[in-house]
Structure 1
Amino acid sequence: MKNVLIFTIIGLLFLGCKTEEKRTDYIINGNAPGIYNGVRSYLKMVEKNGRERVIDTAIVIDEKFSFTGKVLYPTLSSISVNSVNGKLNFMLENSVIDIAIDKSNIAQSKISGSSSQNDFERYQNEFTTIRKEAMDLKSQLRNIRANQTATKRDSLTKLSTAAEKKLQELPISFIENNTNSYYSLALIDIEASKNNANIDKLLAAYNTLDSELKSSPKGVSLKINLDNLLIAYQKKARVDIGKIAPDFTAPTPEGNTVSLNDIKGKVTIIDFWAAWCGPCRRENPNVVRIYDKYHDQGLEIIGVSLDGNRTQKDPKQTWLDAIEKDKLTWTHVSNLQYFQDPVAQLYNINAIPAVFILDAEGKIVAKNLRGNALEAKVKELLQQ
């Protein structure tokens, strides 16, 4: 009898400690008080470019609606309801999720049942708090009275700057402090899609994540995207203003080769153009005028032609004819490979005309100036 009791207790303990199996699907139960029968609701997936894609729809019946389905991993999503302004962002995962729709402000709707939603809400609350602080401080600075002391103004300025910095650093800070959260993956995706994204910092933050997150389908695809963005960023960064212009060697019309370093002057213009480029040809008379005026003072130009597209029967002859017709008497080079030209690739050229102005040290000091602005910059540099 004693042995039976012991085995019974052990069995109960085993059952009590048994891990509950993870769900492989989701059920969203929407409670929508005040919303009429027949109104349609939409479940949308938020994609990496910030756009939303509808993945399901449901009809409100007796102030309720529901969605069912599966996701590979917790994913930033949204719900919108016809006749209700705005949308509700939330983290969708394979679980039973209950949503109480607030008809007056759908963004304030209550969500339960999604563990990654808790991380999402923590981030949003912290972001809102810091942003309000930053906005309040800016407002105080705008409304500061003339008779208030400089000390007070300086104090507010420092506080405002600190709040703005904290707001900018919040995404990375959150990711580094929540290395096992799927919302951290979503946050990296959001930040990476911004024009001013710091890809180096995002990659560093990604590398702090738990291995389970990084090996997930979302983690793997995100890493590929970050690597591609880093390559694009590096291409752009190497020809940013302030950088030394990368040297290159390319063939001249006569079949010789010349490098940028061979022809650099006190001021150097690298002019990416083509015979087929209308804006380039219309700007050429201005460039000729500037070259004739300042060449004796140290101005050099190297024209890099992007001729060689498939519509040109004889790209080289077309290039040579344009040089002669437009009276372009400076150095010219081209691989006649259109935008696949190695020099164009080196300088991350996606459209022409494109112009780089270099100082005597070969540093890029300006880009894409035309007309009087181009002449003014050349004159300024020659006088230094």
Structure 2
Amino acid sequence: MKRYFLTLCFVFGLFSSYAQQGYTVKVKVSNRKNYTPYLAYPTTDSYVVDTAYTVLNGWMLFKGKVSGTALASFGFRRNPATQIETDGGGMIPGPSLNFFLSNESIQIEGDANTVYMAKVTGGKANQEWAVIKAKQNALTHQTWTSLKKAFDTYKPGTDSLVFKQASKIRDVNAAKEEKLQLDFMKNYPNSLVSMYFLANMQNSLSFEALKAAYTKLGAAHKNSSFAKGIAGKISSMEATAIGKKAIPLHKKDINGKDVNLESLKGKYVLLDFWGSWCGPCRSSHPHLKKLYAKYKAEGFEIVGIAQEQSEKLADNLKTWKKAIAEDGIGWIQVLNNDGIKTFDAVRAYGVSAFPTKILLDKEGKIVARYVGDGEEIDAKLRALFGK
């Protein structure tokens, strides 16, 4: 009998261990109707969108396995409460529910019409996030409902006051949410949630602020994908700081010729990061053309570095060349998508917003960096060329 008991214990122990090898996400929501639920999360080399589930006692069960802990989202397709249909036939998706997915049992309860506000239990990261999650959800709800109301009530040709009000609410709430996150990071420096929050802020913080915030976070999650992204951003910002030597481009121009920054030494060179899809980038071209005409003979050159958004290189080449022809820009042009696996200029130069302009001196060192379509560079060029 003793031997039989030990055998049973061994079998049940194996079963328990196996059960913990994957995750189970249990979902119970009201107003579900016939909307299609989905669970989405990234893996090391792909992105999973799971719509397969079973039902047990009124709960939808999603099962699978993740490596470590992943930031997941849950929502419902085709729910008019969480999307906006535009006049042109397009669709603006609303917020989904974000949570951390680990190989544990995780429970979601809420309303399909406000799924982004659902309660999540299970997992250490979700437990920590719960400290401020309700307040974040309330801000998200106010921002989303104000935007949806603006689209629902706006009449073409009338004053867009409703959109101005929605934008104001969005900006105010974004500031409130950032403060919530910063306070959380201060109080929970060893939380994966803190690393996630900082990763979302990395494109809006200065180099000094980002580096200081990263240093203050604990080492517990410095190997996470969030931390690696932040560290990469810091590294690229350090490599392209004022006074640093410009990183070689390793790209070909629109005619297939190699572009070598070394050959441009003796000139002031402006690296212009842009894209055919970027309105502010395109609208800055007329002004750049004036600057080019004014200073080219004085030793000024521009190198346009375009980043296109299609998955196919042929499509990117087509839209890139079309934009160059339409805008009539005659300076050096390279396409970052071409040969991006060998060298990604956008990543190497730490570019996270378009347009970004980086000015190099005659020795090939970085002397200025500008983000946006403003004309701040004018004063710098006047000082350099004396006119």
Q: TM-score with structure 1 length normalisation?
A: 0.46
Indicate the structure (1 or 2) with the bigger Cα radius of gyration.
Answer: 1
